[in-house]
Amino acid sequence: MTVPPSILQIRGLHKSFGSIEILHGVDLSVKEQELIFLIGPSGSGKSTLLRCCNRLEEPSSGSIIVDGIDLMARNTDINAVRQLIGMVFQSFNLYPHMTALSNVTLALRKVLRKPRKEAEEIGHRALARVNLAEKAGAYPNELSGGQQQRVAIARALALEPKVMLFDEPTSALDPELVGEILETMRELKESGMTMLVVSHEMRFARDAADRVIFMDHGVIVEEGPPEKIFTSPTEARTRSFIEKLTR
């Protein structure tokens, strides 16, 4: 049996904002088709780590390699690499002046320079994948939070990324809308997408994640399969965090 190659490799990642260091040297290797959950108290650096993965935050030092491409190399076209890395945000960030379909097709048309017809075909397929085929013509403010977030997922999927980053994708949603997002993510996982998720949906982590990574104060404290992290963590800090969550 061959070991699946790692699609995302982070080595010695440091990130400072001014004189405050948020990430103190993080190493992380994500295998193809893996679903990784990043958990930890607020301010632990998990969102910053995620946002460094497509250089929305500029790392202070360290290396990030996605699908063999070194993100930090001087000659790397960051805009080209970003097409390989889909990102989903807490606040959806749909373009309010565009329909769902235009949201999904903008990058296809303006970055990949696809003709409108082809872009729209891809866009319709991406919307169908998140079960929103019938909402193609709707504007974001005509959609529920859950639907908006699914359009945002479709917008990332349309570019056929190798990795998807989820930054607290359900935190801004009413509780009854969380399920549809998790369901979409589960379907993505089944289709073989590699996913790196910052989220507080511990139940989802428990039954869908391949690996859970606990971060605190800018370092990875502990990582392992969900049942180990949630039921028998080795580190005291992990234990106390998990206890607070389940109390």
Partner 1 sequence: MDGWSRFTDTFFKPELIERYLPSIASGLVVTVEIALAVIVTGLTLGLLLAVVRTFRVSVLSFVIVIVVDAFRALPPLVLVLIVFFGLPNVGINVPSFAVLWIVLSFVLAAFAEEIFWAGILSVPKGQWEAARSTGLGFLGTLTHVILPQAIRLTVPPITNRALAITKNTALGTVIGVPEILNQASTGQSFAGNATPMMMGAIAYVLLFIPVVILGRWIETRFAWGRA
Specify the residue, 132 or 156, whose C-beta has the smaller distance to partner 1: 156
Q: Does 178 bind partner 1 (CB under 8 A)?
A: no
Q: Could you say which DSSP state residue 24 is in? A: E
Instruction: Choose which of 22, 52, 89, 150 interacts with partner 1 (CB under 8 A).
Output: 89
Instruction: Choose which of 140, 169, 218, 233 interacts with partner 1 (CB under 8 A).
Output: 140
Distance of CA 149 to the CA centre of its chain: 12
Specify the residue, 54 or 238, whose C-beta has the smaller distance to partner 1: 54
- DSSP E strand boundaries for the chain: 6-17, 20-31, 35-39, 61-66, 69-70, 85-88, 163-167, 194-198, 211-216, 219-224
Q: Which part of the chain contacts partner 1 (CB under 8 A), choosing from 12-20, 29-37, 151-159, 189-197?
A: 151-159
Instruction: Choose which of 12, 68, 80, 190 interacts with partner 1 (CB under 8 A).
Output: 80
Q: Which part of the chain contacts partner 1 (CB under 8 A), choosing from 12-20, 122-130, 137-145, 215-223?
A: 137-145
Q: How far is the CB of 151 from partner 1 (least distance, A)?
A: 11
Residue 242, CA distances (Å) to 17, 40, 43, 188, 201 in order: 28, 9, 16, 27, 12
Instruction: Choose which of 4, 11, 91, 116 interacts with partner 1 (CB under 8 A).
Output: 91
Q: Could you say which DSSP state residue 89 is in? A: -
DSSP-derived pairing of the beta strands 163-167 and 85-88: parallel
Residues touching partner 1, count (CB under 8 A): 28
- What's the CA gap between 125 and 131, in Å, rounded? 10
Q: Could you say which DSSP state residue 4 is in? A: P
Phi, psi at 161, each rounded to 5°:
-70, 160
- What's the CA gap between 47 and 229, in Å, rounded? 20
Specify the residue, 7 or 220, whose C-beta has the smaller distance to partner 1: 7
Q: Mark 44-73 with x for binding to partner 1 (rule: CB under 8 A) and - for no binding.
A: ----------x-x-----------------
Note the residues at the interface with partner 1 (CB under 8 A). Answer: 54, 56, 79-80, 82-83, 85-87, 89, 91, 93-97, 106-107, 110-111, 139-142, 152, 155-156, 159
